[in-house]
Structure formats: C-alpha cells, structure tokens
Chains A and B, each alone.
Chain A
Amino acid sequence: MLAPAHVMLFSLALFAIGVLGVLTRRNAIVILMSLEIVFNAANLNFIAFAWALPDVAGQVLALFVICVAAAEAAIGLAILITVYRNRSHINVDEIDLMKW
C-alpha cells in the first residue's frame, strides 16, 4: 500500500536535489529552475497530507503555493533580463553589485 512516508521521501529527495542545484549551479536561470523543484517538493507534502488525513485544505494551500511560484518565476526572470542587459552575463558569482 502507498503510505504518506513514501511520498514524503520522494518529496525529500526532490528537495535535496533542488537545494543542491541552487548551491552548486552558477547560471541564474538554472538556479531558478532548481527553486521550482523545491516548490514542487513542498507541494508534494501538502498533497500527501491532504490525501492521508484526508482534508482538502492541503490541496487549497498547494494551489496558493503554485500561484506564489508563478509570481516568483515572473519577477526572478524579469530581474535576470535586467541584469543581462546591464552586464551581458548572468553568472551569479560575478553579480556582486546592486548598482553600477
């Protein structure tokens, strides 16, 4: 039988991979993609507990998380475009000035 622990371990693995991506990659676009993986890991836990309890509130909260992730992606990518326009690269190791 499928148990909540299975889904939580899957979510934990996704979270670990996402955090590793954020920490090790230098391309800011790929860092944002890794962040989306972390959001998905959080959502998986919401859905797992909504299924296990069972309480539909977890699914509603997962919808809110998806909305916040969409807003984050839009703003993050807009910032990346602005940085690229000014610096001609998006290597996070070299983006160290707020104004230039």
Chain B
Amino acid sequence: MSAPLWIFLLLAASGVFSAAMVVTRRNPVHCLLYLLVTFFSVAAVYVLLHAEFVAAVQVLVYAGGIMVLFLFVILLVDVGRVDALRRVAKGHVVLSVLLTALVVVPVGVHVLGGAPAAAPSTLALAEGGGNLETVSLSLFRNYLLPFEAISILLLVALVGAVVLARARY
C-alpha cells in the first residue's frame, strides 16, 4: 500500500469515529468538539485529494464560523433542561437504523460494484499556478452567475437571521 492510502484510512477512521460520537454524546458541547474533529479530518482528506483551497475554506468557514455560531447558541439555550428531556424509544432507534440502511446499503453496493477509477494523472488540478488559481479561474469564468446568486443568498440569510433572532418588544 502506498502512503496516501494509509493516511486516508487514518483520517477516515478519525472522521467516522468522531462523527459517531457527535450523534451519541449527550452533552451538546462534547458533540460540538467531536464535530470539530470531523471537520478537520474531512479538511485533511481534501488536501490529500488536491483540493487545498476548499480545505482552507472548510477550516475557515466550518471550524471557524459555524463552530462559534453553534457554541453561542448552545450557551444561549439552557442545555441542562434540554438534555433531561432526552429519552429515545428503542423501537424508534431500530426503525431509524433500518431506514438509513435502506438508503445506504444499495448505494454502497453500487459504489463497490461500479466506482470509476482515478485518471492516470491527477496533476491537472495543481497545474498553471496551483490549486487556488485553477479554482478561481473556473469560478469567475464558468460559474460567475451562481457565484453572484450565492452572494444574494448569503445576504438574505444574514438579514433573515438578524430579523428572526432579534428580541421582540
């Protein structure tokens, strides 16, 4: 086995483990910290796959922005009272696992059966000035309209969040 596969398996193990901890821990702050580990594992996999810019954005936006947002809301909401209410019925968990398996197993079989192989040379992603230049050229040449639409979406989300969370008098 070559080095990248070993590194990938390590990162995948840490990502899956911490994601499992996110959905099983009781304390939301613990969930959040495990979620941070998941984000960093995924970002490291991005670097492995020659997506350095997306990895940087992942760390800045997820591990930076969204993390802090979640932490503030956890601190604003009374965690203790919320947790005391948490008692999930066994039958509900079994049904959820069955529903998830219903979706995931066919997809997994499909992936194992017919996943495409990697192109012989994946260096095209890093050619001509590096990953950032390649991504930005594609973004501003081919995807300019979606880029502008996303900026409007973010503006609407910003205004909407302020209006929703504002104190009522």
Contact = CB atoms under 8 A, between A and B. Distances in A.
A64 B165 contact: no
Given A59-B51, A74-B157, A52 B117 contact: yes
Contacts of A73: 66, 69-70
B35 A37 contact: yes
B62 A84 contact: no
Given A24-B92, A84-B77, A4 B116 contact: yes
Contact of A26 (B70, B88, B116, B125): B88
Contact of A66 (B19, B57, B124): B57
Interface string B134-162: 11001100110010001001101110111
Contacts of A15: 104
B164 A81 contact: yes
Contacts of A37: 19, 22-23, 35, 38
A71 B85 contact: no
Interface residues of B, number: 90
Contact of B78 (A43, A52, A66, A88): A88
B149 to A, nearest CB: 9
B117 A4 contact: yes
Contacts of B139: 60, 63
27 contacts: A1-B2, A2-B2, A2-B8, A5-B115, A9-B108, A12-B104, A13-B19, A14-B38, A18-B19, A18-B23, A21-B23, A24-B88, A27-B28, A37-B19, A37-B23, A51-B125, A52-B119, A54-B119, A54-B122, A54-B123, A60-B143, A64-B146, A68-B153, A73-B66, A75-B157, A90-B77, A93-B85
